[in-house]
Amino acid sequence: MFIRVVAFWFLGWVPGLLYYVLPIVAAVWISQKGAQGFLQEDTPKLTGWIRMAMAFYAYLFMFTDKLPLERPEEVVTLEVQPGGNPSAGSALLRFFLAIPSALVLGILYFVAYVMWLVAAIQVLTQGNFSEGIASFFRGVLAWQARLFVYLGSLVEPYPPFALETGPRPTPTA
């Protein structure tokens, strides 16, 4: 638990660097390969980066005990249906267009950090944390994933301002 606390407070910002990196990488790759070449060739790469970041966040938010160093797909389900006609200019513009969503997400992360302390106490005393906190954490992480996919120019529509996570997968026995 101590390692997770240190990682949460000191390394939680590292995957957030994707906010800056994704639009730049997308713009470069789009300018080299064109919109359709980018979507066909680079969607798996960018999706992998985003999945790795989200798996790291899932670890920090106590959804898994495994650091997602080798197979993040075992920790996080991320499905991306690439589309649209991205350009290098639109990829760079997304950095600015995403500011409203990023600001709201920043406020949600502040709330999540406070709730994380409550969840950590619950885990230490009860062995798990409440479904309400877990649902909020899932919503914040889903918002973050949608924003990353948008910033990577993998989808055209602006991500919704919603904590909606979609249907939950049923556990297999």
Sequence spans of domains, the chain:
2-151
Confidence (pTM): 0.85
Residue type, 77: T
Extract the tokens encoding 28. Answer: 């470069």
What is the mean predicted confidence (pLDDT) over 62-88?
A: 83
Q: 6 or 140, which is more confident?
A: 140
Q: Give the per-residue pLDDT at 8.
A: 61
Residue 68 has pLDDT above 90, yes or no: no
Residue 168 has pLDDT above 60, yes or no: no
Q: 1 or 38, which is more confident?
A: 38
CA distance 167 to 116: 23
What is the mean predicted confidence (pLDDT) over 95-99?
A: 93
